[in-house]
Amino acid sequence: MARHTKEEALATRHRLLDAAELLFQAQGVSQTSLQQIALQAGATRGAIYWHFKDKADLFNAMMERVTLPLEAAVQKSVATDQEPLGAVVSLLVAALELMTTDPQVRRVFEVATHKVEYTQEMQSVHHRHLTSRNACVADFEKALRHAARRHHVKLAIPASVAAQGLHALISGLIQNWLLDPEAFELVETGRQAFGVYVAGLGFERPGPSELGDNGKLPASSGTPLSLYFNG
């Protein structure tokens, strides 16, 4: 019975998160109440407070459903002995590929980039955003330093600056594509932009084996999910 109850609780939690995604996308985070989310999910307001402390806690949980796998993938790629820069670039291209093919990933990115206001109520969301951004930039910097040592490359700019630029490049591509997905082809634009950026730092441009066919990672590398690069 306890196992059955635990499974039901998990199912309710996922229904609440699914409902929040849809409502946040449709009407914005500030205009969506917890009561509306409960009704959309076929649950009670009490069920929301059983699973989440407040709207910000629910929002962060919604984000983590799609960000944690990517965060783990980036950290793993930086920590292994494989080509560090090629691994990071291939992960970035694969994230763009997923953005264009997975409706949930696209929905959550859209909410995070265009449908949330950092009001007092959402301060913990703002803090998580900054923490994730800073961790991502730190991983990029580590990968760039590692790659520069490995290939005896003197970077054209400091690794810390290059890491900020790489983060700005992918987050800017995603945010602009979400404004108008018909304006440009996200994956191919990202692949070319990353290659030029890396070359500008002093490295050789990543080849097809590093980027994968059509921007996808080789199956053995793992598949990242999304939102590590918002804002």
Per-residue pLDDT of the chain (231 residues; tens, 9 = 90+): 355 588 888 899 999 999 999 999 999 999 999 999 999 999 998 999 999 999 999 999 998 888 755 555 555 655 555 676 777 888 888 889 888 998 988 999 899 999 999 988 899 999 988 988 898 899 899 989 999 998 899 999 999 999 999 999 999 999 999 999 999 999 999 999 999 999 999 998 766 555 544 433 333 333 333 334 444
- Structural domains present in the chain: 1-52 (1.10.10.60), 63-221 (1.10.357.10)
Task: Please give the C-alpha separations between residue 1 and each of 6, 15, 50, 184, 225, in angstroms, as whole numbers.
Answer: 9, 21, 19, 52, 34
Q: Positive or negative, the Cα torsion across 104, 192, 169, 184?
A: negative
CB of 199 within 8 A of CB of 205?
yes
CB of 166 within 8 A of CB of 78?
no
What pLDDT is attached to residue 79? 59
Q: Report the distance separating Cα 215 and Cα 40, nearest Å.
A: 36
CB of 141 within 8 A of CB of 157?
no
Of the candidates 59, 91, 86, the one whose C-alpha atom is nearest the C-alpha of residue 74 is 91
